[in-house]
Amino acid sequence: MAEEHLTLDDVEKLATDALTGAGASPEAAASVARSTVKAERDGIRSHGLLYVPIYAEHVVCGKVDGQAEPVVSRPRAGAVTVDARSGFAHPAIDAGWPALAESARQNGIAAMTVFNSYNCGVLGHHAERIAEDGLIGLCFTHAPASIAPAGGRTPVIGTNPFAVGVPDAAGGAAIVIDQSASVVAKSEIMLRARTGTAIEAGWALDADGNVTTDPAEALKGSMAPAGGYKGFGVGLMVELLASCLSGAVLSKDASPFSGTKGGPPGTGQCFIAIDPTGFSPAFSDRVAALSAAITAQQGTRLPGGRRRANRLRIVEEGVTADTELLNRIRGFRRSDYN
């Protein structure tokens, strides 16, 4: 398979050009392209360039309104709501971000919900962004249904990840936890299906509720929840916050994030920001002591450590991507999509 080497600047330009070529506004394209770069930078390939043709295709077919202008409201002192208006999640989150940070600092805690939204990419990057603002971030996003309740076969909730970002005392993130309710992210199975690579036993079930290692059969069935019924419970918590609280459609009613079937997914997100200085002056010291207790043990690392290690390397080395994927992305740069 032919491959090409790209810098992260190349990745950003390629994604931006494809999305604007497909019909997205410059602002929306730039926001999604930044997310693509972060995913590639941190070695999360399933949310990087691999997703750009899907994003662009969804603008073309109308699953995403590439020209949507988010509407931000502040119904309460500590409440921010954003109507993404069937556009990309990233610019909607960007639009509400200043109000979320301001409200958290004024009140000690604030929440922002986003509805009529879409896939928001790597949730941990939003949690890290909150942490870089000096706030504790609790982030939740749901997805089209792919996990059945324990004992059932019909998916009711999505892989529904949550993320936690904890600030350090130097303007960065001390800890970033990012995990889904499923054993692995669905995008990983989509990646395996594209490359024809078997998945691990225990990752997913086929349409009949049997364990499968065939990614194509897994995509027809359901994802396995991490920890059985406990994983389903985590996913249900996320559903309550990202869907029910935001006013978004339920996962069971959302159209897929992949393919062109159905209209806009209409999913949602929830972000909670906490200003630790409003609660305890010892917060940073406690976080540092807790982190040290973990890293002092041989063979351990803090959550988010692998991504940070990838980041240091990939910023210097760049990335490689197969030429077939890059040509698909380049195809959207044509003016006939405008």
Indicate whether 102 and 53 sit together in one domain. no
pLDDT score for 121? 96
Catalytic-residue membership of 46:
yes
Show the domain range for 43.
1-61+304-338
Indicate whether 160 and 107 sit together in one domain. yes
Indicate whether 80 and 135 sit together in one domain. yes
Catalytic hit among 12, 128, 188, 239: 188
Catalytic-residue membership of 125:
no
Give the torsion through C-alpha atoms of 186, 187, 190, 192, to 10 deg: -100
- Residue 104 — pLDDT band, cuts 50, 70, 90? very high
The string of pLDDT tens digits covering residues 251-273 is 999 999 988 989 999 999 999 99
Burial class (CB in 10 A: 0-12, 13-18, 19+), 253: middle
- Residue 51 — pLDDT band, cuts 50, 70, 90? very high
Indicate whether 159 and 277 sit together in one domain. yes
User: Quick check: 161 and 238 in contact, CB under 8 A?
Assistant: yes
Indicate whether 284 and 313 sit together in one domain. no
Segment 163-180 shows an average pLDDT of: 95
Total domains in the chain come to 3
Mark residue 134 as left, alpha or beta (left: phi above 0; alpha: psi -120 to 50; beta: remaining): left
Indicate whether 15 and 123 sit together in one domain. no
Catalytic hit among 35, 46, 243, 255: 46
CATH number of the domain to which 212 belongs: 3.30.60.50
Indicate whether 90 and 235 sit together in one domain. yes
Catalytic hit among 47, 58, 126, 142: 47
Catalytic-residue membership of 27:
no
Q: What is the pTM of this model?
A: 0.92
pLDDT score for 205? 87
The mean of the pLDDT values for the chain is 94
> Is the confidence at residue 338, as pLDDT, over 50?
no
Segment 9-35 shows an average pLDDT of: 98
Indicate whether 255 and 286 sit together in one domain. yes
Lowest mean pLDDT among 23-32, 208-217, 306-315: 208-217
Indicate whether 75 and 112 sit together in one domain. yes
Indicate whether 261 and 170 sit together in one domain. yes
Indicate whether 54 and 190 sit together in one domain. no
Indicate whether 205 and 313 sit together in one domain. no
